[in-house]
Amino acid sequence: MVSESLSLSAFKPDLRSSQRTQIQRGITVRLLRVITLLTLDTLSLASAWKLGTFDSTQSLPLINLSLLLTIFISSDLYKAGVNRRNYIRIIKGTSISFLLLLLITYLYAPQIDIARSSFLLPWLLSIILICTARYLFDASTNILRKQGAVRHAIYLITDANEQKEQINLLNQENCYIIQGVNDSSCLDLANREQTLNKLRQLGIAEVFISWNSIKNRLHICWHFYNAGITIRILPSTHELYHPKSEVWMLGELPCLTISAPIIAGSDFWIKRIFDLVCSTILLIAFSPLYVSIAILIKLDSPGPILFKQDRVGLHGKKFKIWKFRTMVTDAEKLQAALEAKNEIKDGVLFKLKDDPRITNVGKFLRRYSLDELPQLFNIVLGEMSLVGPRPLPLRDVERFKTTHFIRQEVLPGITGLWQVSGRSDIDNFEDGVKLDITYIENWSIWLDLRILFKTVGVVFNKTGAY
């Protein structure tokens, strides 16, 4: 397994990175729709005030417009699909904006005596005109779509036995042009790059993927995410969930949508800059601690201060990990005699709570994870990150199953979701891998920050450390 993994290109980037920063695909059409609706709502409200009152207080319509647009935006009334046709929500939003206007007038301009009709008639006309404008907008759009215009270019990935049913479902929406159909094999590692290149050439902004085609390879969402392509997952069952998704209705059918960011491809480089800045600051701040630990190690037992070991990192590339030495110098040779006492149930990792090879100072360093501090140099060199799946020795990776290698698709880290969820107390490698995959699928800058803050608590509480 290791030889297969190590044959991967050492120059391939982290799964979450992008070769270039780009604008989300299809954003021009979305912006045009939003601008059109904003304009219609503004004109409708202005017309309602013009027709409904002759009051000379010019500030009221402007305040009302600000309130209305804020409420509409927060109520998702400018999103695509059924959102803009939610007339109940439109009526509620319009009514709330007028009630707030009344409250503001009462609190901040009590000296102004305004007739009730100055509010009631514009309110009623606003509801009528805004709903009418939205209805006409939808009716005009539907007429154009029946003529083949104003349609979204999409691509469908689904197995052959589901294609006919799902094509019919998409055609019923009357807003898509299906530019191509493929089965789930196009998402396999060998075909993935070719598929993405084809989608770029076709100018695809949205890809519809059946749940059966993606359920075992959800990590590929990062490829579409960084390409600026929105994923819509078509359900095959009612038990659908993906952490980065939101529910979106396709007719009467609830689907999951993983939206691409407006500016795609920038998140990972923010993470890399954060890693570099933080590791550099920590190296400078901890320099006196490094010297103190080095002296203690030298006084405690013979041998080098630092321990170097081959670990398997990004895409199976080997690198030297740096740690403060916590064991006797011939610890790796002694491990073979201790394999029978391994406390990890499936034997992939090697963990032993009362490991006789650990020195007295080593026990203290491990208890507070101080032995990991030299890995800040690995971060500066780009071999590791502050947060990510832990890099494992060759002995462990040689025992991987095929599904485990997804861990190697992202930069390894000093700490991670596995470490803050139990550290050494997790005695089954499969449980740890599930946490690593959860981290990969859910990753965001904010998740990294939460893990880092939680790591501080875990270290000081000495949770699961040995």
pLDDT tens digits for range 221-245: 888 888 888 999 887 654 555 556 6
pLDDT band at 135 (very low <50, low <70, confident <90, very high): very high
Q: How confident is the model at residue 40 (pLDDT cuts 50, 70, 90)?
A: very high
Residue 17 lies in a domain: no
**Residue 337 pLDDT:** 67
Tokens encoding 252: 């009467």
More confidently predicted of 107 and 211: 211
Domain ends where: 89, 114, 146?
146
- Number of Cβ within 10 Å of residue 457's Cβ equals 10
Residue 162, domain CATH:
3.40.50.720
Min mean pLDDT across 14-28, 78-92, 138-152, 310-324 is at: 14-28
* Residues 154, 207 contacting (CB under 8 angstroms): yes
Do residues 138 and 162 both lie within one domain? no
pLDDT in tens, 186-232: 998 889 889 988 998 898 989 999 988 888 788 888 888 888 889 99
Last residue of a domain, one of 215, 248, 264: 264
Place of tokens 């002759």: 54
Which among 264, 287, 308 is the end of a domain? 264
- Asked if 299 and 428 sit in the same domain, the reply is yes
162 vs 166, 182, 256, CA distance in Å?
6, 11, 17
Domain that holds residue 198: 151-264
Residues 421 and 307 in one domain: yes
Residue 340 lies inside a defined structural domain of this protein: yes
Note whether 139 and 173 are same-domain residues.
no
Q: Indicate if 142 and 168 belong to the same structural domain.
A: no
Domain co-membership, 306 together with 424: yes
pLDDT for residue 261 is more than 90: no
- Based on the structure, what is the number of domains in the chain? 3
Please state, in angstroms and rounded to a whole number, the distance separating the CA atoms of residues 436 and 419: 10
19-39 confidence digits (pLDDT tens) = 777 777 788 888 899 999 999
Based on the fold, state whether residues 211 and 289 are members of the same structural domain.
no
Answer whether residue 335 is part of any domain. yes
Say yes or no: 53 and 125 in one domain. yes
- What 3-state class would DSSP assign to 399? coil
Q: Which residue has the tokens 């807003």?
A: 175
Are both 373 and 435 inside the same structural domain? Answer: yes
Query: Quick check: is 6 in a domain?
Result: no
Torsion of CA 457, 460, 463, 464, to 10 degrees: 120
Element (H, E) at 209: strand 206-210
State the DSSP H helix or E strand holding residue 396, giving kind and residue range, or none if neither.
helix 394-397
Same structural domain for residues 140 and 165?
no
Both tokens of 102, joined, read 């009344």
Q: What is the pTM of this model?
A: 0.71
